[in-house]
């Protein structure tokens, strides 16, 4: 399995959906659709997205610290 990091290419906003899709082997488009649909439900989806944005390292930072 790949490690979790926000890729530099394939981002739409912050790269969180692209990171999750690549990490778990799921289509990035499917992750994005699920994220948008989840925003229709009550709950802290936007806060969770922002927390993931902060916690998941960028690809450039990941490459610099692991190679």
Distance between CA atoms of 52 and 45, rounded to whole angstroms? Answer: 11
Predicted pLDDT at 61? 67
- pLDDT tens, position by position, 13-59: 899 999 999 999 999 999 999 999 999 999 999 999 999 999 999 88
Q: Where are the domains of the chain?
A: 16-66
What is this structure's pTM? 0.77
Question: What's the DSSP call for residue 1?
Answer: -
């Amino acid at each position: 399995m790949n490690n979790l990091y926000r890729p530099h290419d394939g981002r739409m906003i912050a790269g969180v959906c692209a990171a999750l899709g690549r990490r778990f082997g799921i289509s990035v488009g499917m992750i994005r659709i699920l994220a948008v649909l989840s925003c229709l439900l009550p709950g802290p989806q936007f806060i969770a997205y922002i927390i993931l944005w902060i916690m998941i390292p960028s690809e450039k930072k990941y490459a610099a610290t692991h190679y």
